[in-house]
Amino acid sequence: MIMTRYEIERELDKLYKDLEIAHNADEQTVCKLFNADSKKEIVKVITDEIDTYEDLLREFDMPYDDGMDYRGLQLSQGLPVVYW
């Protein structure tokens, strides 16, 4: 499933809120709230998810260049080339 930038940012916001709750609550509360065996475990899971979504978000900021010379390809095939 491809996510939009908005969806990724929204998910990150939720994860950061969950992480804050996990850090500030006591062990028993965290285990009940997140259905986890330990506070340490859920903090690791949330942190890993944050890293994944931040990597996805960084892909939106990367310039798209696949290295293909499309103008050269069009010229070699005798196609009209549009210059912007």
pTM: 0.71
Q: What is the pLDDT of residue 84?
A: 56
pLDDT-based confidence at residue 77 (cuts at 50, 70, 90):
confident
Q: What is the pLDDT of residue 11?
A: 96
Question: Rounded CA gap, 34 and 55, in Å?
Answer: 24
Residue 52's identity, in one-letter code, is: T
The C-alpha angle 40, 45, 49, rounded to 5 degrees, equals 145
- pLDDT, tens only, 28-71: 999 999 999 999 999 999 999 999 999 988 887 777 666 677 77
Q: What is the pLDDT of residue 75?
A: 83
What are the residues whose beta carbons fall under 8 Å from the beta carbon of 42, sequence distance 6 or more? 22, 30, 31, 34, 36
Q: What is the pLDDT of residue 54?
A: 93
